Amino acid sequence: MLILRLEKQIMEFELQATAPASAARAGLITTDHGTIQTPIFMPVGTLGSVKGVHQHELRNDINAQIILGNTYHLYLRPGTEILRRAGGLHKFNGWERPILTDSGGFQVFSLSSNRKLTEEGAHFRSHIDGSKHLFTPENVVDIERIIGADIMMALDECPPGTSDYDYARRSLDLTMRWLKRGWQRYNETEGLYGYRQAYFPIVQGCTYKDLRRRAAAEVAELNADGNAIGGLAVGEPAEVMYEMIEVVNEILPTDKPRYLMGVGTPANILEAIDRGVDMMDCVMPTRNGRNGMLFTANGIMNMRNKKWADDFSPLQEDGPSYVDRVYTKAYLRHLFIANELLALQIASIHNLAFYLWLVGEARKHIIAGDFATWKPAMLENVTRRL
C-alpha cells in the first residue's frame, strides 16, 4: 500500500476553464518561483541550458514560464557538489522562474548496453567517461533536492513502445515499487534552499490499457501535487499514444496538473491538450530547428531548401512574429548553407516562441469556449509542409 500524504499541498493548481466538447483545460500552477499558465510547453534545458538560447531570450522573446533540467546529465556534469555550493540550479544558471527536473530514468534506460536494472535501482556507466554509477529511487530524490527544481520527477523505467505485455507488466511492477520508495524519501526530506519542491509520480504501462489503468489508479491514490504520463512517443503509433492519454486521464484527478513527458510535434501538442493534458516538453523545437526545420502557424519549412533562396519575406508572413522581422527566409537559408551559428540561434528562438504561442492560443480558445472549433483548422495549418 502506498503512503498517502495528508498535509497541505506544496504546489497549487487552479482549474480555470474546461472547453465544451473537449477535455481541454486552462489553469494556473503556483510555485515558489512563480505562476505557470496552462496548458504550457516547457523548453528543455538538459544541462541547465536551453541549447543556443540566452536566459534573457527565454524570458523576453520566448516568454518561457518554466524550463527543464535533467537529473542524469546534471549529476554527471557539473555534479551535485558544484550545484550545492552554487545554491541550486536556479542560482547556478540565473533562471529565476520555475524549473522541472526529469529523474534521469529515460536517459539511463536509453543506455541499453551500459546499464543493468535491479530491485535496488539502475546501475549504469557514464556516457562521458565510462565510470560506474547507481540511481536508486532514494538517491534520485536526494540529487533532485540538491538541484533544487520546483517540480521533481520520480525514478521510473521507460519501456519501449513496442514492448510485449509480459515485459511491460514486469517493468510497471518495478516502477511502482520504486515509486513507493521514492515517495517515502520525498516525504522524509525537505528542500535545501528555503523554497518548496513538488514531486510527480509517473504513470507507465506501455500501450496496454489495463496496465495504464492500474498505474493511474495507484498514482492517483498518492494525492501528489501533480502527475505525469511517461513512456509515450517512444515508438508506438500516434493514435495509440492518444488512446493511452485518454485512458489515463479518465482516472488521474482533475484537480491536479497532468504532465505528458517528451511530446512532441505541434500536432501532438494540440491533440494532447484536447485530451486534458496541461504540461508538455520536447527537444523537437530546438533540435529540429538546429537542423533547419521551422514550425510556423502556416506550416513547416525546411530552411535549407533552395525555394527560400530569394524569398525576402519574413519568417512568419501573417499572424504573430516570433523573432525580429528583420530576419527573412532568404537570410536564414543563407546562414544555414554557410554553417553560421546564428542560424541555429534564430531557428531555436523562433521554434520555441512558436510552441509557446501555440499553447497560449489554445489557452485563449479554451477560456473563450471555442477550442473544439478552433483546433481542427490550426491542426491542418501546423501539419502542412511549405
pLDDT one-digit tens code per residue, 260-277: 999 999 999 999 999 999
Q: What is the pLDDT of residue 107?
A: 74
Whether 281 is a known active-site residue: answer yes
* Residues of the chain with confidence (pLDDT) below 70: 1-8, 109-113, 319-325
DSSP state of 5: P
Which residues, other chains included, contact 260 with Cβ-Cβ below 8 Å and sequence gap of 6+? 228, 229, 232, 245, 272, 277, 279, 280
Q: Is 102 assigned a catalytic role?
A: yes
- pLDDT at residue 159, as a whole number: 86
pLDDT in tens, 88-147: 999 999 999 999 999 877 777 666 667 788 999 999 999 899 999 999 999 999 999 999
Selected catalytic residue, list 61, 102, 156, 274: 102
Q: How far apart are CA 147 and CA 68, in angstroms?
A: 11
**Rounded to two decimals, what is the model's pTM?**
0.95
User: Which of 144, 141, 139, 138 minimizes the C-alpha distance to 73?
Assistant: 144
Catalytic residue among 150, 225, 274, 281: 281
Nearest to 17 by CA among 365, 297, 291: 365
Residue 6: per-residue pLDDT: 42
